[in-house]
Every structure is written in structure tokens, then in C-alpha cells.
């Protein structure tokens, strides 16, 4: 069986773990690309040597050349700086814009049919930038954050109630940061509404821990940020795309009137399949949740304006 070609740009913690999972799950042949000479090649070789033990059939190769994007069905962008303690995702804005902008252009040049999945932070802003710089349709440019934020919340609820977190369902929308919006009506534990097992106060504490979920890990790691769960989030989305499952998952998408919002990229439920975003799913929201989503959109729009200023102030170096 011939596997689809996926390129993972950035062979750091998130990129390498994503590649490992894609290979283990038999989802793709993977090209890993990094700007650092030898890094992607070395990790690809290491992963290839895991194949006889793990029994995966796909190949993994490493490269420093963007030309190797050619023929990719899906390009996953994890290139960029990761957060250090005390840094917000926004602190990464200008530095990562100078990395993600040119990569999006390279995707358009070498793999114009590809679906572009952004992981680099600040996520919502990097998706807006990639959409603009790649010129790809909004159905094929998206970001991974909602599945991760939802998984963090599911894990915290599972831990709090001492139940397997896989029995907890939850949908977290909004921006990947302080203004993430957990949708209370979407949260169930063993099929029951979470409100029947946790008080509003208890839930709010878990929501706050979810908002701080990335920072909590950065504080422990000190020299980097989370990568296991982010990689699992990417691979959940990649699986829905590559296997054309039509699954509804939260993802950062460009809005053109959905949820009453436009000119912004934000976490919303999307149906994913082989063509990318098949549709943005209209989910019933409580009035406070709708307001919170609108506030998140306003903050992302301000970020997009700052991003344009930051990129204009420091011209993008050629890749």
C-alpha cells in the first residue's frame, strides 16, 4: 500500500515526536526538514532504524531543502522557537513570523496542492500569516491547538474524578492562550454532562489549569515547551485528513462569517477530511461562551495588526 507523503518542517521536539507517531501509526511516509544541517537527517535515520522493531512500513527521510516538500499531501509546520520560562506565546511573535512566513511561501511554491497544518506559536497568528503568505484556500490552512487544549482539559477532569481521561469528552475553542473557550455543554464524563459531577467552581479551576497548561510544563522543563501531547494533537488531525474520516475536531481556521466572525483565525469545530476543512461546524454556544469567542477574536485581530507591524519593521530574510 502506498502511503501519502507528509513533510514535517522543524525537526525539534514537536516535529520529531510527530514524525515518530506518524510512522508508528502507519499514516505516512515522512520527510523531516530542518534548517540546522544534519539534524533532520540524523533523526530520520534513527527513526528508520526503529522500523524493523516497530514494524512500520513507511520511510522517513531528513533534509535541509524545501524542494523536498514536493508531492506532500500534508505539510506540518513546527519550525520556530519554543517558549522559555516567563515567555508568553506572544513573545515569540516576531521571531516565529520570520520563520513561518517564508516556509508558507515555500509550501505554495513546491507543494501547492498540500494541506498546511501549523503548530508554531503564537498559533492563531501564525495560521493567519501562513494563510496570507501561502495564498492557499482557507480550507487547506489550519492550526493545531484545540485538540491539545481539549485533551489537557480531558486529562485534568479524568485525574480529578479518577476516571480514564479517554472517557471524558470536551471541546475547547477560541484562541490558543489566555482566551481559550471551553464549551461546557460539550463536556461529558462517561456520557454524562460534566455539570452533574463537578461544580461550576471546580470546573473553572480546571479550565484555568488548562489555560495555563502549556506554561505549567514550560516551568518544569525550563529550556523548552510541551511536545508529547502537541505531537499527539497533530497526529489526531493528520489521521482525520489522511484517512478522510470526516471527524469533527477543534482547530484554528479562518472565519468568514461563521460564529458571526470574519477576518480572523480562531479555534472552532471543523470537519476534517482528505480535502482539509470540509466545513466549519456550527455548535450551540451559551451566551457567555459566544461573548468569550468574540473577545478572543478581537484579541487575535489586534495580534494580526501587531504582526504586520513587526514583520514590516524587520524584513524577512531569504530562506
Instruction: Kindly list the distances between the CA atom of residue 203 and the CA atoms of 58, 158, 162, 187, 249, in Å, as whole numbers in the listed order.
Output: 42, 12, 15, 10, 22
- Please, which residue, 35 or 50, has the CB nearer to ligand APR? 35
- Please, which residue, 38 or 135, has the CB nearer to ligand APR? 38
225 near ligand APR, rule: CB under 6 A: yes
Q: Which stretch binds ligand APR (CB under 6 A): 116-124, 133-141, 168-176, 265-273?
A: 116-124
Q: Where are the alpha helices (DSSP H) in the chain?
A: 13-24, 39-48, 51-54, 93-110, 123-134, 146-161, 200-211, 213-221, 228-242, 287-313
Burial letters for 125-163: b for 16+ Cβ neighbours within 10 Å, e otherwise?
Answer: bbbbbbbbbbebebbbbbbbbbbbbbbbbbbbbbebbee
- Please, which residue, 143 or 174, has the CB nearer to ligand APR? 143
Query: Of these, 139, 224, 283, 304, which contacts ligand APR (CB under 6 A)?
Result: 224
Rounded to a whole number of angstroms, the minimum distance from the CB of residue 69 to ligand APR is 11
Reply yes or no on whether 176 is catalytic: yes
Q: Which stretch binds ligand APR (CB under 6 A): 91-99, 259-267, 278-286, 292-300?
A: 91-99
Strand pairing category for 247-256 and 262-273: antiparallel
**Is 279 exposed, middle or buried, given 0-12, 13-18 or 19+ CB atoms closer than 10 A?**
middle
Instruction: Kindly list the distances between the CA atom of residue 70 and the CA atoms of 31, 65, 126, 240, in Å, as whole numbers in the listed order.
Output: 10, 10, 22, 22
Query: Of these, 3, 6, 7, 10, which contacts ligand APR (CB under 6 A)?
Result: 10
227 near ligand APR, rule: CB under 6 A: yes
Q: Which stretch binds ligand APR (CB under 6 A): 10-18, 49-57, 129-137, 276-284?
A: 10-18
Rounded to a whole number of angstroms, the minimum distance from the CB of residue 202 to ligand APR is 29
List the catalytic residues. Answer: 176
- List residues binding ligand APR (CB under 6 A): 9-15, 33-36, 39, 78-80, 82-83, 92, 96, 99, 119-121, 224-225, 227, 230
Amino acid at each position: 500500500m502506498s502511503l501519502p507523503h507528509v513533510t514535517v518542517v522543524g525537526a525539534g521536539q514537536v516535529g520529531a515526536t510527530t514524525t515518530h507517531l506518524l510512522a508508528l501509526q502507519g499514516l505516512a511516509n515522512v520527510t523531516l526538514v530542518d534548517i540546522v544541517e544534519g539534524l533532520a537527517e540524523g533523526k530520520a535515520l534513527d527513526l528508520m532504524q526503529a522500523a524493523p522493531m516497530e514494524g512500520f512500513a513507511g520511510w522517513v527521510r531528513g533534509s535541509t531543502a524545501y524542494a523536498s516538500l514536493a508531492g506532500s499531501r500534508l505539510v506540518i509546520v513546527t519550525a520556530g522557537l519554543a517558549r522559555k520560562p516567563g515567555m508568553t506565546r506572544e513573545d515569540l511573535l516576531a521571531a516565529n513570523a520570520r520563520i513561518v512566513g517564508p516556509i508558507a511561501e515555500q509550501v505554495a511554491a513546491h507543494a501547492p496542492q498540500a494541506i498546511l497544518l501549523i503548530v508554531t506559536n503564537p498559533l492563531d497568528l501564525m495560521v493567519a500569516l501562513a494563510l496570507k503568505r501561502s495564498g492557499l484556500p482557507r480550507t487547506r490552512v489550519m492550526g493545531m491547538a484545540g485538540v491539545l487544549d481539549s485533551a489537557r482539559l480531558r486529562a485534568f477532569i479524568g485525574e480529578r474524578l479518577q476516571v480514564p481521561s479517554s472517557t471524558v469528552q470536551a471541546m475547547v475553542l477560541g484562541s490558543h492562550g489566555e482566551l481559550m473557550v471551553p464549551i461546557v455543554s460539550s463536556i461529558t464524563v462517561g456520557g454524562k454532562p460534566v455539570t452533574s459531577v463537578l461544580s461550576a467552581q471546580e470546573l473553572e479551576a480546571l479550565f484555568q489549569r488548562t489555560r495555563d497548561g502549556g506554561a505549567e510544563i514550560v516551568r518544569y522543563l525550563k529550556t523548552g515547551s510541551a511536545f508529547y501531547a502537541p505531537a499527539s494533537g497533530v497526529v489526531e488531525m493528520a489521521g482525520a485528513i489522511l484517512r478522510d474520516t470526516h471527524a469533527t475536531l477543534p482547530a484554528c481556521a479562518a472565519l468568514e462569517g461563521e460564529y458571526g466572525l470574519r477576518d480572523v483565525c480562531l479555534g472552532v469545530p471543523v470537519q476534517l477530511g482528505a480535502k482539509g476543512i470540509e466545513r466549519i461546524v456550527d455548535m450551540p454556544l451559551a451566551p457567555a461562551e459566544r461573548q468569550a469567542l468574540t473577545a478572543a477574536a478581537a484579541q487575535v485581530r489586534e495580534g494580526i495588526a501587531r504582526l504586520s507591524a513587526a514583520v514590516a519593521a524587520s524584513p524577512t530574510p531569504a530562506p
